Every structure is written in C-alpha cells, then in structure tokens.
Amino acid sequence: MAPPDTLTVAPAAERARELEQYHRDHVLGCVRCPLAEGRTQVVTGNGDPDADLMFVGEAPGYHEDRQGVPFVGQAGRLLDELLAGIGLTRDDVFVANVLKCRPPGNRDPLPAEIAACEGHLHRQVRLVRPRVICTLGNFATKLLSGRPEGISRVHGHELPIRLGELEVLLYPVFHPAAALYTPAMRATLAEDFARLPALMATPAAGAAPLVPGPEAEAASEPEPAPARARPEVPAPAGEQLGLF
C-alpha cells in the first residue's frame, strides 16, 4: 500500500474520460452566470488531455462561440504559427479559457463571471496535469498566479505555483490578439514562446500555494477592472470576429 503522503495519479486514458464526462455533465449546460443566456455554444477547451503544456486564454470570441472551439479566429492562427515555431501543434497541447462563454461585445470578463467559471478551469488543470501553464494575457495570469502584476511586467518569466495538489510552472505571455493590433509584438511573443520547450522539461518543485485548489468554495478574484467593450474586428468575409 502506498504511504499516505503519496499522490496516486490516474492513468492518462482514465483522466481523459473523466475530463470528457466533466465537460458533458457540468460545463456544456452550465448556467452559473448570465453569460449562458447569450451564448451560441459553450467553449470547453480542446487538444491533448494529457498535455505537458496547457494554454489558458481569456474568453471565447465570435468564431469560438459559434464553433465551440477555442482560438479559431485570427488570434488562433497566430497561436498556431507560434506553436509551429517551437515544433508543436494544437494536438500536442491543451487549450482553454478562463471563461467558457463569450462576453457580449467581447468586453472584459466581470469578476462575478470569473468567480462562477474558475472552478471549471481548476478541474481541467487537475485532470490534464500539465507541467507548464502558459497564460495568455492579463486575466488568466492574474487569476492563476493570485498576484496583481500586469502582463507587461511578468511576461516571459516563469513562476512555480501550486494549484490544489499539482505543482506547475506558470508562464505568462501576451495574448496573441495583442500582436494583431501591435505587429511589433510578434517578435516578443516568438521570443517568449522559444523558452517553452526548456520549461516543459523543468519540474515546478517547491512551489508555494498561491491560490486555493479546485475544491475551494471560493477563490481569490483578480483586481476588479471596468468592463469595456472591445471592438469587433471585421473578418475577411465581413463577419465580426472577437479576438480577446
């Protein structure tokens, strides 16, 4: 019998089935916040359910809401390019968002919406068990780090953290959508991405707990920010595309 302090980890196939069931039973029909009223689909996340690298963005945009898949718009294409630059594809990683439903007009997530949805993200992390969580932008970074520093200060700097019983390296980078508005930021993103393969080979030993685990009834919310509508960026076919 294993000693009491030894963590027993379920096999990858079992965790993949549990993740699929959790999405089906608890996420796809979620009505924890008012965003459920205006969504087309819940965007749970996709990719390798046993990935060493997990990306966490902010919220679904226009095309994500309609297709039910994260990062399928212009920002998603840039994410694919950045992954290719380090020899990876979407099939090698797991991609999710802080919010699983699209905020109206692509505005910032509200603190109450984050609080309602973060339990889903914690469960995803617990089941995927990544070595590295790469947060894309401010909201994911502040939520998972439990710290107030903005992405401009912390991007490209890894932080060992503990989420529940899982020790991981948190690695913040700018959201790919930022490079669509500021093309010069592509070089910064590519530089930060270039460090990911080495980080994936580095365990996050000795991480100090910064935020409650997935079973916590309430987790720390990021600093409240005023909700602001982000512009809908026209897609080539004239459709509206949410990038953040």
Residue-wise pLDDT for 127-144, tens only, equals 999 999 999 999 999 999
Structural domain contains residue 178: yes
Cα four-point dihedral sign 55, 61, 65, 66: negative
* Spatial CA neighbour of 173 closest among 190, 160, 161: 190
Domain total in the chain = 1
pTM listed for this prediction: 0.82
Structural domain contains residue 23: no
Domain carrying residue 72: 44-204
Distances in Å between the Cα of 120 and the Cα atoms of 140, 168, 209 are 13, 18, 19
- For residue range 24-71, what is the model confidence (pLDDT) as tens digits? 999 999 999 999 999 999 999 999 999 999 999 999 999 999 999 999
Structural domain contains residue 232: no
